[in-house]
Amino acid sequence: MDLAPLAFRRKEHLPERNSVRNELGRGIFRAVCYSISMAEIEHPKSFLETLRISRGVTQVQLAAATGISQATLSKVESGTVDFDEDRWAIIAKELGVPVSAFAGANEPMDADLVFHRKRKSTPKTALNKIAADLALTRRRVESIVGAQMTSLKRHDLEDGYYTAGEIARKVRKELALGDGPVSDLVALLERAGVIVLRWPLESLQVDAIAAWPSKSGPVILVGEHVPAERQRFTMAHELGHAVLHDGEATDAQEREADDFAAEFLFPAKQVVKEWVTNPDLEDLYPIKRKWGISLAALIRRGYDCNLLDDREYRGWNVRLSSTGMHRREPAPLSPENPKALREAIARAEATGITIELLAERAHMHPTEFAATFMEETS
């Protein structure tokens, strides 16, 4: 799946069928999380810069801690100057990695095609940190399991001929999902060659971040704080970006990714089949649990499929908001936890490869390696 070209190809989109629907808002979670333009990210150019930003350390702070001038650090990060072994050892100790991590320090870091799901107020420094975190994690994962190739296929929205929902149905068919629910979206993505990791993103106000490199499969970091329902929609949204888009995420593309996610998780024909006339909450809970979506997403599906009118849809949203159910989901789902990477590490151990060797390959100390890639997430 070649996602290297970053030139954005503007596409024509079908007009909204109903202006009232547009006013009510298309995105299920647009009020709390957004995607971000790549222009807002400053991609680190070297391993040292990537590691430093990932640790949340500025050049000024690193200079003060190591006694190495900021000007020299800047030149090293840009690749115009190199350190001797003693100075690399000082840097390694301060940033908490083995000195061997800097063996290829001057090699440029690839600039991935990156999509985020973030809160609107997320500061740029936090975005740069998590982008560096993702780039570093992808390189470390590849050192453990190699470059992961994906079975996902790209699809174009050609002059409005296909809708995002139609392409979602195509992707469901390609992944042999049939018409039923996606019981475990994380497992499905892992089988398709996607690396998924739950990650501490709450303090950065980021729900998820995904990279789609040109030479390997996608990597998705999903916030540990994200409820299962929103996690599933967010991952399906990122999947939509991956198969539909090859450039900066515009508002139109955000709507397409939302439409893709909604149809991918709960196809319209199934919504019509399972909807209950004049439903109450007790009618909706079984449908929510079966299809793995939030009540807000379920109500939105009913509205988009013309099973709720404008008045009913507004009424449901007022009810969810006034009772706090839009923040604390009733009948919550259990989180889906990634397994593929831990299983790959277990297979390596079974062949006699030690954690110490795996950590060395990933340019990490064994304790950090185990905490990052081997601990269970509840």
- For residue 19, the model assigns a pLDDT of 37
Between residues 173 and 160, which one has the greater pLDDT? 173
Report strand pairing: 114-118 vs 219-223.
unpaired
Considering only residues 63 and 218, tell me which one the structure prediction assigns the higher pLDDT: 63
Between CA 288 and CA 302 the distance in angstroms is 12
pLDDT for 120: 56
Q: Which residue has the higher pLDDT, 349 or 15?
A: 349
Give the residue, 378 or 316, on which the prediction is more confident.
316
Beta bridge partners of 164: none
Beta bridge partners of 223: 199
- What dihedral do alpha carbons 116, 122, 128, 129 form, nearest 10°? -100
- Tell me the average pLDDT across 21-48: 44
> Predicted confidence band at 291 (pLDDT cuts at 50, 70, 90)?
very high
Provide the pLDDT for residue 248.
58
Summarize the confidence of residues 330-350 as an average pLDDT: 91
Q: Reply yes or no on whether the pLDDT at 268 is more than 80.
A: yes
Helix 164-174 and helix 228-244: axis angle, to 10°? 100
Least confident among 17-21, 93-97, 113-117, 156-160: 17-21
Q: Where are the domains of the chain?
A: 29-41+112-267, 47-102, 340-373
CATH 3.40.920.10 fits 47-102, yes or no: no
| Better-predicted residue by pLDDT, 16 or 257 | 257
Which of 174, 150, 156, 167 lies closest to 245, judged by CA? 156
Mean pLDDT of 102-114: 60
The predicted structure's pLDDT at residue 105:
52
Indicate the pLDDT class of residue 160, thresholds 50, 70 and 90. low
- For the cut 60, the answer to whether the pLDDT of residue 10 exceeds it is no
Please classify residue 308 by burial: count the beta carbons closer than 10 Å to its beta carbon, then call 0-12 exposed, 13-18 middle and 19+ buried: buried
- What is the reported pLDDT for 251? 79
